[in-house]
Amino acid sequence: MTLHLRPLGQSDLQITPVGIGTAPIGSTATWRISWGPQDEQAAIRAIHAALDSGVNWIDTAPFYGWGRAEELIGRAIRGRRERVLLFTKCGTLPDGQGGWIECLTRDSIYRDVENSLRRLGTAYLDILYLHDPDPQTPIEESWQAVQTLIQAGRVRYAGLSNHPNDLVARAQAIAPVAVVQHQYNLLHRDVEADILPYAQQHGIGFLAWSPLASGFLADDFDLDALAADDFRRRHPYAQPEAFARLTRLRQALQALAASQGKTLVELALAWLCAQPGVTGTMVGIRSPREAAAMVDGPAWQLTDAEHAAIELAIAHWEG
């Protein structure tokens, strides 16, 4: 399977339509967004399998297990750094009570980046995102700090994660925004109203996170089998009425995919990667099997009839 490269905004980076998402492998029992137990060796093998299949970028953050994901990536890419683009974030810090705060002051950004470089075992980052908005720090201050890191060679390009358009515009007034990333999948389409059109209009790359809706759109998803502390047990989709409706939607989409010899994962990724303005999506993987499952979806060119069938199923889910 050949994964064709796509230009990432107005940068000189060329990326595959799917990348490696790493929130699940960062999971720990003490991290509030726990994905259940994670085997470190399986996580490293998953990263190797994805890279060997042609995937050329990894998305991560210090937030994911408070550094655990970055440490695992550093171990996995040792001797392979030239084969992979590394995207990480800054600004989300533990609050000392099991939660987190946003702090995008200059000094906080510098500390985050130095710690990320150390954990990842690299001298530079290909993309640095401001993770979530910090209401206490003007974005102009944060964005200027990132430009200093770019000038110093510690960062190649910069992006914004989960930031509304007005903050993107304020950052752009100082220096280019290469890429934005937001949640986007078959069940969560808010970005279609304003974020995605803005990115298209301004030539900004767009990466979608949670393309499989935190696993609720995975073929083998089993709510009852999740660990007791798995955050998805508390997810709105897991509530009885919503989950009953979601189960019916899953069945409809799986039937559509099966009619073409495909899987639900492949359908979800094919649909997402075909959306106008979407450059790519990161898929959270925890095993070589999951790594293999993510690479075939983007190659499926959905027909107009298939798109219409998906939209009809989604309309029933929504209303």
CA distances from 228 to 36, 68, 225, 232, 291 (A): 8, 21, 9, 10, 25
Residue 253 tokens read as: 């989409």
Please state, in angstroms and as integers, the Cα–Cα distance from residue 173 to each residue in 86, 109, 135, 168, 177, following that order.
Answer: 26, 20, 19, 9, 9
* Concatenated DSSP letters of 265-297: HHHHHHHHHTSTT--EEEEE--SHHHHHHTSSG
d(CA 106, CA 140): 10
d(Cα 236, Cα 234) in Å, to the nearest integer?
7
Which helix H or strand E contains 170, and what residues bound it? helix 165-172
Tokens 């490269």, located at residue: 5
Question: Which residue, among 217, 207, 138, has the nearest Cα to 179 in the 3D structure?
Answer: 207
Instruction: Tell me the one-letter amino acid at 11.
Output: S
**Spatial CA neighbour of 174 closest among 155, 150, 206, 198:** 150
- Annotated catalytic residues are 64
| Pairing, β 100-102 against β 92-94 | antiparallel
